[in-house]
Amino acid sequence: QVRLVESGGGLVHQGGSLTLSCVVSGSISSMPEMAWNRRAPGSQREMVARIRDTIDYSDSVKGRFTISGDNAKHTVYLQMDSLRPEDTAAYYCYVVVVNTANQAGAYWGQGTQVTVSS
């Protein structure tokens, strides 16, 4: 059973910073893919940042957000700087986990709300 627990969301004034964390627990051998997605009210979910073979960012956050992963702690981070009101959304952690039986599965977190005031 793989479980994801996100934290770090909240209310911040534009120009401010937040760091999201996603702790992954369970039978984990490796996490070949880690990502953060977001969904704003009335919008579709979009990929914000992803670590796979490369690190990719959406154009809207490039240069402001930084994704990182700590495989020893099974934790994924999203450092968000220079936040804008349009970054307001629910942010979701997504990971692909390979377990100790060498089986892969994809998992989502429950979401954490980020609200940026103008």
- CB burial class (10 A; 0-12, 13-18, 19+) of residue 61? buried
- Per-residue model confidence as pLDDT tens digits over 15-43: 999 999 999 999 999 999 999 999 998 99
d(CA 106, CA 36): 13
**CA neighbor of 114 nearest in space, from 16, 5, 33:** 16
**Contact assessment for residue 58 and residue 46, using Cβ atoms and an 8 Å cutoff:** yes
The helix/strand/coil state of 86 is helix
For residue 1, pLDDT over 90 is answered with no
- Per-residue model confidence as pLDDT tens digits over 35-82: 999 999 899 999 999 999 999 999 999 999 999 999 889 999 999 999
Give 53's DSSP letter: S
DSSP result, 5-42: EEE--EEEETT--EEEEEEEESS-SEEEEEEEEEE-TT
Q: What is the dihedral of CA 78, 75, 42, 114, to 10 degrees?
A: -50
